[in-house]
Each structure stands twice: as C-alpha cells, then as structure tokens.
Structure 1
C-alpha cells in the first residue's frame, strides 16, 4: 500500500501553487490467478516558476494484461514503461498530445514485440488508462475496460467508457443498460493496446475541483462492486481505509481476477495562504 502527500508552503501572501494531491495505490493477485498481470504507476513533478510559485504535474496509470495470457504481464509493464518515458520527457502543456503520443508508443512497442514470438502473437495485449493532472486540468487517455470514477459533491461519475462488446452494443442502443451489466460480452474487449498496429484511444480533458476524489481501477476491482460500494469507499476520510474496503469487498465476491486501484484526492487547488517556507515539495508517508 502506498500513499504520497505533497505539501507546498510559501510566505503569508496567497500565491499560485498549482495542486496538492494525496493518493493511495493497492494491488492484489486475486483468489484464482497464478500471477498478477496488472501494473500501476504514480509519479509527480513540481516545477518552480518563481520563489513563491510552482506548477504541478501528476500521472496515475493502470494497465491490465489480458487475463490468462502468458504475455499479459509483459504487456502491462511494457505499456507503463512507454508511458514513463514520454512523461519524463514532457515539459508541460498540450497534455492531450503527450498522452496520445505515449499510448501510441506503448501500442507499437507491444505489437512489434508480439510479432517476434508466435506464442505471444495476438495474445500479448493490455488495457491502459492514464490520468494526467497538470495544475487544474485532468487529461484522460483510455483503451480497454479499466475505469476512472470521480466523486464530486457527493455524486459519483464514471468518466471512461468500457471498450467491450456489451458497451458497444449499449452505445448502438441494441441492448439496455440493465442487459449490458449482465451481458456475456461484458468483458470481451473491442479495443486493446498491442492487439493491432493502429490503435484508437479515447483522449478527453476536463477541469478538476478542490475536494474531488478519483478512483482508477482495473476490471478485477470494479466488476465485483456496486456503485454504492464504490461511493462508500470514496467517502472514507481515511484513504487507506477506503482502499482496503474496496479490496476486501472484491475478495468477498470471489475475486477471480487481479485487483488494482489508485485513489487520489484533490486537497488544494490554485491559491492558498501558507506558512513561511518555499514552494519546494515536502514528501512524506502517513
């Protein structure tokens, strides 16, 4: 279990400090899988503009290698390696272009490696969802059926659309939402990273608000939970307890798949009167 809290402090005059985020990540092999094919990554960069101003960039990513395939664990980790390379080379601005570039790079690398090994061909694939937070703007890149939820003002929203046969049929009004939740194609992917030489990723951008709480998770987590159970976990004031609740509920449901979740909360956004320290980041566990 991990948590990362960032505190930024300036003199007593309010200054732009970007965003302060707390987060927790948790992963579990599940009760039936022989290995964990999920992979996740969280990091941040704080750039100082002046002695009293800073710019914040975070990235949260979850990749779920295709279940039961020998190449799944390799694919999910390859995808995150490609994302890391692009994020660390990025200097801010046009986050949507960076996200698209990173996801296309991940797709090309996985697809090319898969061609070199017949046993991995058409099997070495992964889902991938990444959320990039630059100051007050969240850029979301998504392929597959990991999900990003947001809780704002007591209401929970699913910000991603599953790229599955059931979800596609729902979009075409071929089935109802009730039918989609129990459809045999609920987990049959129609898009993945590494499955084809060219990939269509969903890239969206939206502002964040102070007090927002997000959950980025693999299908091994959300498929075992109700929306009310997710809401209950996101409402926990102790983020560790919220993450543990999610996994406990998924395990109680049988947990046939790997489980991974990242919860993050927007603590402070924009300006804040602070104590007499510089903007420089103080990292700590709690």
Structure 2
C-alpha cells in the first residue's frame, strides 16, 4: 500500500476563478488478475490570469487496457500519456476541443505501438474516459465501458454510454435491460482506443453545480455493484470514505477484474480566496 501527498503553498495567495473539488482515487488489481492493467490520472492546474487572480482547472482520467502479453498495461499508460500532454498545453476554454484532441492522439499512439509488433501486442487496445472541469463546465470524452455517474440532489444518473455489443443491442431495442445485464456481449467492446486508425468519440458537456458528486470508474467496479449501492454510498459526506467503501463492495462481489474508482465532489464554483492546495492519490494493491 502506498500513499503519496504533495502540498504546495505560497506566501501570497491570489483569488481563484474556477472550480474547487474534493476527490479521492483508488485502484486495485482485483482478486483474480496477476497485474493491474487499469491506469488513472488526476491533475489540478492553477494558472495566473492577472497579478491578483488565478484560474483553477481539473482533469480526471481512467484507461482500462486489454489485449496481448503486457499489452493492456502498455495501452492504458500510453493513452494517459497523450492525455497528460494535451492537458499541460491547455490554457482554459474550449475544453471539448482539448478533450477530443487528447483522445484522438491517444488512439493514434496506441494504434502505432500495436502495429509496431503485432505478435507481442496482438489486439492491444484500451478504453479511455476523460473528464475536464473548467469554471462551471464539465466536459467528458469517452470511448469504451468505463463509466461516469453523477449524483445531484440525491439522484444518481449515468452520463456515459457503454460501447459494448450488449448495450448496442439494447439501444436498438433488440434485447431488454435485464437481458443486457446478463448478455455474453456486455463486456465485448464495439469501440476502443487503438483498435482502428480512426475512431468515433463521445463528447459530453454539462454545467456543474456546487454539491454535485461524480464517480468515474472502470468496469471492474461497476459490474460488481448495483446502482443502489452506488447511489447510497456516494451520499456519504466524506469522499474518501465513500470511495473506499465502493472498492470494498466490489471486492466482496468477487472482483475478477481490475478496479479503479475516482470520486470527486464540486465544493465551490466562481471566485474565492484560494486555500492551500493539495493533490492526493491513493493506490491500493493486493
């Protein structure tokens, strides 16, 4: 078990324009996997706008890799490297363009690595879901079957759509919701990063409100939980406790796959005197 905390402070702290969130991230290799092919990244950027004002932005991302010997882990980490590069170039605004570019670059790089040694990296792909927060806007770029849930005023809503055979059949009304939950194609991806040279990306944009809570997670978590489990747990006041509880519930369910969960809660939006910033991530391994 490892815990890393970095704290940054300044003698003169400017006012912040943007969003402040409380968050927790946990990843676990699961109970039946020999390695963790999930990868995640959380970033908080503070950039000066004027001498007395700075802007605050966040990015949350999860990639769930698959395919070939070591290929899944390489795919997920290669995809996140592209996301990091695009985020570091982002100056704010037009988050949809930044997120779309990050996913397209990730797809190109994973595809090229896979083609460099087809025998070693056969069918190497990854899912990828990226969430950017800028002021009161949230932008999601999504490929695959990681999920983003929102809890607002006690109501849970799934914001992303699984790119799986079962979900495609459900959207075509060829199977029922109950059938989709048990369908053999419920984890068979119909879209992925690195599977083809060109891909379609879901881009979702919405306004955030103070008090909104979000769960970004890989299928290793949500497939072991019911929506009621998620809804009840996310209503806990402490974000860290809620994230830990969701992972424990998934482990109790058997956890045959890798698990990654990020919960973040919108604390304030607008202009506020900046607190001391801290970035924290928690990794749990079997």
Relative to the length of structure 1, the TM-score reads: 0.90
Q: Which residue is equivalent to 1:282?
A: 277
- 2:44 and 2:27 map into 1 onto residues whose CA distance is 20
> Residues 30-77 of structure 1, C-alpha deviation per residue, up to 9 Å, x if partnerless?
000000000000001112323443322110000000267530000000
User: In the TM superposition, what are the counterparts of 1:97-246 in structure 2 within 5 Å?
Assistant: 97-246=97-246
Q: 1:6/1:261 Cα in 2 relative to 1: closer, same or farther (>3 Å)?
A: farther
Alpha-carbon contact 1:6-1:22 (below 8 Å) kept: no
Quote how far apart the aligned CAs of 1:170 are: 0.9
Quote how far apart the aligned CAs of 1:208 are: 0.5
Q: 1:237/1:187 Cα in 2 relative to 1: closer, same or farther (>3 Å)?
A: same
CA RMSD of aligned residues (A): 2.4
- Unmatched 5+ stretches in structure 2: 282-286
Q: 1:284/1:160 Cα in 2 relative to 1: closer, same or farther (>3 Å)?
A: closer
User: In the TM superposition, what are the counterparts of 1:72-87 in structure 2 within 5 Å?
Assistant: 72-87=72-87
Q: 1:137/1:93 Cα in 2 relative to 1: closer, same or farther (>3 Å)?
A: same
Alpha-carbon contact 2:61-2:129 (below 8 Å) kept: yes
Q: What SS is found at the alignment partner of 1:237? A: coil
Relative to the length of structure 2, the TM-score reads: 0.90
Q: What SS is found at the alignment partner of 1:56? A: strand
Q: Which residue is equivalent to 1:269?
A: 269
- Unmatched 5+ stretches in structure 1: none
- 2:177 and 2:53 map into 1 onto residues whose CA distance is 47
Quote how far apart the aligned CAs of 1:93 are: 1.4
Alpha-carbon contact 2:142-2:203 (below 8 Å) kept: yes
Report the count of equivalent residues: 278
Q: What SS is found at the alignment partner of 2:216? A: strand
Q: Which residue is equivalent to 1:56?
A: 56
Quote how far apart the aligned CAs of 1:16 are: 6.3
